[in-house]
Amino acid sequence: MTHLRARVALHPDFRVGPIDRRLFGSFVEHLGRAVYTGIYEPGHPTADEHGFRRDVAELTHELGVTMLRYPGGNFVSNYVWEDGVGPVEDRKPFLDLAWRTVEPNTVGTDEFLRWAEREGIEPMMAVNLGTRGVAAAAALVEYCNGEAGTRWADLRIANGRAEPYGVRLWCLGNEMDGPWQIGHKDAHEYGKLAAEAGKAMKLVDPSISLVVCGSSSMQMDTFGEWEQTVLSYTYDLVDHISMHAYYEELAGDRASFLGSGTAMDRFIDRVVASADAVGAARRSDKRITISFDEWNVWYLQSRFPGETNLPVQRDAPRIIEDVYSALDAVVVGDLLVTLLNHADRVPVAALAQLVNVIAPIMTEPDGEAWRQPTFHPFATTARLARGEVLDVRVEVPTTPTRAHGDVPLVTAAATHDPATGAVALFLTNRSAEPVDVDVDHLGLSIDLTEGWRMVADHEAAVEGPAHARKVLDACWSAVDVASTTRSSGAGAARTTVTLDPESWTALSGTLSHA
Residue-level pLDDT, tens digit, the chain, 514 residues: 567 899 999 999 999 999 999 999 999 999 999 999 999 999 999 999 999 999 999 999 999 999 999 999 999 999 999 999 999 999 999 999 999 999 999 999 999 999 999 999 999 999 999 999 999 999 999 999 999 999 999 999 999 999 999 999 999 999 999 999 999 999 999 999 999 999 999 999 999 999 999 999 999 999 999 999 999 999 999 999 999 999 999 999 999 999 999 999 999 999 999 999 999 999 999 999 999 999 999 999 888 888 888 899 998 899 999 999 999 999 999 999 999 999 999 999 999 999 999 999 999 999 999 999 999 999 999 999 999 999 999 999 999 999 999 999 999 999 999 999 999 999 999 999 999 999 998 878 888 999 999 999 988 888 888 888 999 899 999 998 877 777 765 556 888 999 999 999 999 999 887 6
**What is the predicted pLDDT for the residue at 304?**
84
d(CA 108, CA 348): 24
**What is the predicted pLDDT for the residue at 488?**
67
**What is the predicted pLDDT for the residue at 298?**
95
Q: Where are the alpha helices (DSSP H) in 124-186?
A: 134-145, 151-158
**What is the predicted pLDDT for the residue at 514?**
65
Q: Of residues 103, 111, 175, 502, which has the active-site annotation? A: 175
Examine the residue annotation and report whether 294 is marked as an active-site residue of this protein.
yes
β-pair type (398-401, 405-408): antiparallel
State if pTM tops 0.85: yes
The DSSP output letter for 222 is T
Task: Please answer whether residues 212 and 230 qualify as being in contact, where contact means their C-beta atoms are separated by less than 8 angstroms.
Answer: yes
d(CA 303, CA 463): 14
d(CA 508, CA 502): 20
The DSSP output letter for 390 is E
Amino acid at 234: T
| Residue 268: C-alpha distances to residues 290, 302, 340 (Å) | 8, 25, 12
- With b for 16 or more beta-carbon neighbours within 10 A and e for fewer, the 79-107 pattern comes to bebeebbbeeeebeebebbbbbbebbbbb
**What is the predicted pLDDT for the residue at 512?**
85
Q: Of residues 249, 294, 388, 502, which has the active-site annotation? A: 294
**What is the predicted pLDDT for the residue at 63?**
98
d(CA 358, CA 416): 31
Examine the residue annotation and report whether 62 is marked as an active-site residue of this protein.
no
Residue 230, CB half-sphere, CA atoms under 13 Å: how many? 31
Distance of CA 86 to the CA centre of its chain: 31
Distance of CA 395 to the CA centre of its chain: 28
**What is the predicted pLDDT for the residue at 423?**
96
**What is the predicted pLDDT for the residue at 278?**
97
**What is the predicted pLDDT for the residue at 491?**
54
**What is the predicted pLDDT for the residue at 432?**
95
Three state DSSP letters for 89-122: HHCCCEEECCCCEEECCCCCHHHHHHHHHHHCCE
Sheet containing strand 444-455, strands side by side: 15-18, 388-390, 410-416, 422-429, 503-513, 444-455, 476-478
